């Protein structure tokens, strides 16, 4: 029994111009499908990474899971007790007028437990005295620790982390990633870890899903995905990561950019950028079978 289960979840956004403009200009309604038929199981205690370029629907998935958006289609089942979310920008996600103590206590403010806040601050490597300070007195990494303390206040068993280290320096990022893995071990947490940084995801995730234009195109154990990527898009993404080892491997140049999600290409949405695309790819949407959604892989062409 998975802790969280997404079953063919989709989310549409209405981005039509106002009614009057539509009538005058004879324009139809315009619907943006941000998440398209996403299915995903997450087991207790594991970390699932979600990667993809900006606009691929990663953050919408996060917001669907925590209930900030309702799914247009499909169902989301959660068997745990509580979910919490950690946001990307620790400068924007903490109220600058509140003391840290009040920020951390917000999810549990009706329980009135000051000792708990001290305990939470200690847990994320801050001093209990820091509770009296305001967010502006902290660095980016410390602020992200405060957001983690706040997320842990309600004793969640599932944390949705939307780009939690993208706004931080590498050394600070390392501290936060270490803290998150310590907390996971100690508290038995389950993470959905969303990032555009493949190296960070390879560091933390047990399984990784790759999203492209609202769909999951590949889902595999992290070790397998990074050593033997199957979907052409995953291969392209991995190829584009600057190589620290400077092995001098030949790099296939990245082709094109993400298409406009308002007018996605027919068939497999990756076909205009795919080196293996054929007639079937242009016509038919590939089904997600055995961890990958690609005609070429399933036909054994690549």
Among 87, 158, 226, 288, binds another protein (CB under 8 A): 226
Looking only at residues 157 through 176 of this chain, which bind another protein when binding is defined by CB under 8 A?
169-175
Looking only at residues 36 through 55 of this chain, which bind another protein when binding is defined by CB under 8 A?
53-54
Contact flag: residue 237 with another protein (CB under 8 A): yes
Q: Among candidates 238, 237, 240, 204, which has minimal Cα distance to 222?
A: 204
Smallest gap from Cβ 171 to another protein, in A, equals: 4
CA distance 163 to 173: 11
Contact flag: residue 250 with another protein (CB under 8 A): no
The phi and psi torsions of 85 (rounded to 5 degrees) equal -130, 140
Contact flag: residue 245 with another protein (CB under 8 A): yes
Contact flag: residue 185 with another protein (CB under 8 A): no
Among 196, 265, 276, 302, binds another protein (CB under 8 A): 196
Angle between helices 140-153 and 114-123 (to 10 degrees): 130
Which runs of E-coded beta strand occur in 135-237? 158-162, 190-194, 207-212, 215-221
User: What number of CA atoms fall less than 13 Å from residue 294's CA on the CB side?
Assistant: 26
Smallest gap from Cβ 294 to another protein, in A, equals: 17
Using CA atoms, how far residue 7 sits from 71, 286, 293, in Å, is 10, 17, 16
Looking only at residues 99 through 128 of this chain, which bind another protein when binding is defined by CB under 8 A?
none
Q: Looking at beta carbons only, is 187 or 241 nearer to another protein?
A: 241
Which runs of E-coded beta strand occur in 79-196? 83-86, 158-162, 190-194
Contact flag: residue 198 with another protein (CB under 8 A): yes
Smallest gap from Cβ 5 to another protein, in A, equals: 27
Residues near another protein (CB under 8 A), total: 42
Q: Looking at beta carbons only, is 28 or 245 nearer to another protein?
A: 245
Among 1, 253, 263, 300, binds another protein (CB under 8 A): 253
SS3 at position 277: coil
> Is the torsion defined by CA of 84, 90, 93, 97 positive or negative?
positive
Q: Do 49 and 163 meet the contact criterion of CB atoms below 8 Å apart?
A: no
Contact flag: residue 262 with another protein (CB under 8 A): no
Smallest gap from Cβ 102 to another protein, in A, equals: 19
Q: Looking at beta carbons only, is 103 or 236 nearer to another protein?
A: 236
Dig out the tokens for 123 from the structure: 């847990």
SS3 at position 2: coil
Dig out the tokens for 265 from the structure: 């290409």
Among 18, 28, 242, 250, binds another protein (CB under 8 A): 242
Smallest gap from Cβ 260 to another protein, in A, equals: 9
Dig out the tokens for 288 from the structure: 């997600």
Q: Looking at beta carbons only, is 177 or 302 nearer to another protein?
A: 177
Contact flag: residue 236 with another protein (CB under 8 A): yes
Dig out the tokens for 112 from the structure: 């009135």
Contacts with another protein by CB under 8 A lie at 53-54, 136-137, 139-141, 169-175, 177-178, 196-200, 202-203, 222-223, 226, 236-246, 251, 253-254, 257-258
């Amino acid at each position: 029994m998975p802790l969280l289960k997404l079953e063919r979840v989709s989310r549409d956004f209405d981005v039509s111009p106002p009614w009057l403009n539509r009538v005058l200009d004879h324009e139809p309604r315009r619907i943006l499908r941000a998440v398209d038929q996403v299915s995903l199981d997450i087991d207790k205690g594991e970390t699932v990474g979600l990667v993809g370029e900006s606009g691929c629907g990663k953050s919408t998935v996060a917001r669907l899971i925590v209930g900030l958006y309702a799914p247009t289609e499909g169902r989301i089942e959660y068997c745990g007790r509580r979910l919490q979310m950690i946001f990307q920008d620790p400068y924007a996600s903490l109220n600058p007028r509140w003391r840290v103590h009040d920020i951390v206590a917000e999810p549990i403010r009706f329980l009135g437990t000051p000792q708990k806040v001290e305990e939470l601050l200690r847990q994320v490597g801050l001093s209990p005295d820091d509770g009296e300070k305001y967010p502006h007195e902290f660095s980016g990494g410390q602020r992200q620790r405060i957001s983690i303390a706040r997320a842990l206040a309600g004793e969640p068993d599932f944390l949705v982390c939307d780009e939690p280290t993208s706004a931080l320096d590498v050394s600070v990022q390392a501290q936060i990633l270490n803290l998150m893995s310590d907390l996971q071990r100690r508290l038995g947490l389950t993470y959905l870890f969303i990032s555009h940084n493949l190296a960070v995801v390879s560091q933390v995730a047990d399984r990784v899903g790759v999203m492209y234009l609202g769909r999951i195109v590949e889902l595999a154990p992290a070790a397998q995905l990074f050593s033997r990527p199957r979907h052409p898009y995953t291969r392209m993404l991995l190829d584009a990561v600057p190589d620290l080892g400077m092995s001098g491997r030949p790099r296939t140049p990245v082709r094109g950019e993400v298409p406009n999600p308002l007018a996605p290409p027919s068939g497999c949405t990756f076909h205009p950028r795919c080196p293996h695309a054929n007639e079937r790819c242009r016509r038919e949407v590939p089904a997600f079978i055995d961890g990958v959604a690609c005609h070429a892989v399933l036909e054994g062409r690549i």
